[in-house]
Chains A and B, each alone.
Chain A
Amino acid sequence: MDYDVLIVGAGMSGLAAGIRLAYYDKRVCIIEKHYRVGGLNSFYNRAGRKFDVGLHAMTNYVPEGVRSTPLPKLLRQLKLKREDFALCPQRMSAIKFPDKTLRFNNDLDFFVQEVVDNFPAQADNFQRLLKAIFEYDELNLYARPISAREVVGSVISDPLLMEMVFCPLMFYGNAQEHDMEFGQFVIMFKGIYCEGFARPQAGVRQILDVLVRKYRDCGGELRTRCAVTSIRAANGRVESILLENGEVLTADRILSSAGYVETMRLLSDHDPTGLEDEAGQLSMVEFIVVLDKEPAEMGHETTIVFYNHSDRFDYRKPDKLVNVSNGVICCPNNFQYETPLPEGMIRITNLANSDLWNRLNEEEYKTQKAAWLEASLNEVVRLIPDFRDSIVFTDVFTPRTIRRFTGHINGAVYGTPNKTKMGITRLANLFICGTDQGFLGIVGAMLSGISMANLHVLQKA
């Protein structure tokens, strides 16, 4: 088959790119390795229950009427209505360090007041940081990467405040250990503190269903369980794509959301030297706990807690299977729904070492999942009411699970730290979109697909 555009990967970015292209009458096909769409933000069923992978909350939530931020921009671009995502805003989230707690909701002024109350000496500095953030054009594809720790550290003189501000932003979208690129920092800062969290009542399925339906309505073709074996390159261009089932596809242009290194490894003429070193290292585990009551009934009303058990926030690959000394506690029940979710649920995310998880045999894998679940819960109940007597079901996913859903080397949640902002590769008709292009978060992923489809396909007459 010959297409105008082939898209590798049916995650948020691939689907968004697909909608743009199909809507404007391109012959487009999305090929997805997994049997399910979504990539990092997907879902599964177990024991009659529905679980999300990835998405705790959608960032960039703005109330109706706000127009110039990423979420409304993306709805316009995808020809979707605000109601389609059925987003319900969060209640309240918190950043908990040993001596300080900063709360935030979807109102920046509230967060600023929290900062002023907890760090009065930093009030003016925090305003200066906000000014730097608002003056920065984070969507400029030509910007030179700069260190967020340097920029923020030159304005905020209290290291504790700096660590606390970084904590949610890194957990929700940073591929780099310890530091963060300032453009990424601005994207995440705006998406989380200036705009905010929301979730559809039905979770990530709602978003994915809308995207798939829209894509199909526009005439796009979607093939799941369809893995790419190799990308044949010649004369600086992709000539054809060989699928696992032996089929050969051709297209004028290819947009790959499979990850930069992952895509390069598929090239028939690829040079393996040094390629693997560029792959991201940061992976995570998630412990999912179903409860026999709503967490709010136990006094836990916070939507998301970002915690760190020391004054220094250590965002790096741990040297053991899991680092439980920091993490994210998400309560999917604590959004402003019209009707409550069927069951209480807590999801805990911690940093994990994918090499160590990969080395375990099946028996050890099971044992370690159970042991780290217990260890993680022990830490978490220091911060929120002890819910352990109410547990009716648990599940754990690990870097191995992330790899299965995303195909990312090392189960690297946010891909490589070296982003390809322009989406260009050494082949003239092969482009990168999604995580490794560099707009992060779910809204960012969709915007990435949209921008790359616009830039490399639609703007070319």
Chain B
Amino acid sequence: MTKEQIRSVLMEIVAQIIPDEDLSNLKGDIPIREQVELDSMDFLDIIMELRKRYGLEVPEDDYKQLATIDSSVAYLEPRMRNL
């Protein structure tokens, strides 16, 4: 997957988890949780959805690397490159 594909997958996952939030103005470089109502239970679902869809394991210590869309893409790119 390319970075663009990963970004669009992430946006799709976030939209699925918080369907009642407006994501059209979501900025890539600001923590997602500062822009929309997304609590720790919803955040866990991003990790779970990556596991469910791509068999990807994100260790608890790495959760903080998924704070923004940009940092998530950077973190996921080497792990999803060959998908």
Contact = CB atoms under 8 A, between A and B. Distances in A.
A312 interface: no
Contact of A76 (B18, B48, B52, B57): B18
A252 to B, nearest CB: 16
A24 B51 contact: yes
Interface stretch (B23-31, B36-44, B64-72, B74-82): B36-44
A458 B44 contact: yes
Contact of A67 (B17, B37, B44, B60): B37
A224 interface: no
A77 B42 CA distance: 7
Contacts of A72: 20
Contacts, number: 32
Contacts of B57: 461
B57 to A, nearest CB: 5
Given A72-B20, A461-B57, A461-B59, A77 B52 contact: no
A76 to B, nearest CB: 6
Nearest to B59: A461
B59 A450 contact: no
B20 A67 contact: yes
Interface string A36-73: 00000000000000000000000000000001100011
A273 interface: no
Given A24-B52, A68-B37, A461-B57, A76 B44 contact: no
A454 interface: yes
B12 to A, nearest CB: 15
- Chain A interface, >50% SS class: helix
Interface size of B as a range: 10 to 19
Interface string A260-274: 000000000000000
B60 A454 contact: no
Nearest to A65: B20
Nearest to B19: A76
A175 B41 CA distance: 27
Contacts of B37: 67-68
A458 B52 CA distance: 11
B42 A76 contact: yes
Nearest to B49: A24
A339 interface: no
A459 interface: yes
A458 B48 contact: yes
A461 B56 CA distance: 10
Interface in B5-36: 17-21
Contacts of B52: 24-25
Contacts of A24: 48, 51-52
A454 B46 CA distance: 13
A68 B60 CA distance: 24
Contacts of A458: 44, 48
A111 B20 CA distance: 29
Contacts of B20: 67, 72
Contacts of B17: 76
A72 B41 CA distance: 12
Contacts of A451: 41
B44 A459 contact: yes
A73 B48 contact: no
Contacts of A73: 39, 41
A110 to B, nearest CB: 26
A77 B41 contact: yes
A54 B42 CA distance: 30
Given A461-B57, A461-B59, A454 B51 contact: no
B64 to A, nearest CB: 15
B44 A450 contact: no
A350 B39 CA distance: 39
Contact of B60 (A25, A76, A450, A459): A459
13 contacts: A24-B48, A24-B51, A67-B21, A72-B20, A73-B39, A76-B18, A76-B19, A76-B41, A77-B45, A454-B44, A459-B44, A459-B60, A461-B59
Interface of A: 24-25, 67-68, 72-73, 76-77, 450-451, 454, 458-459, 461
Q: Nearest 5 CB-CB pairs, A to B?
A: A67-B37, A24-B48, A461-B57, A68-B37, A24-B52
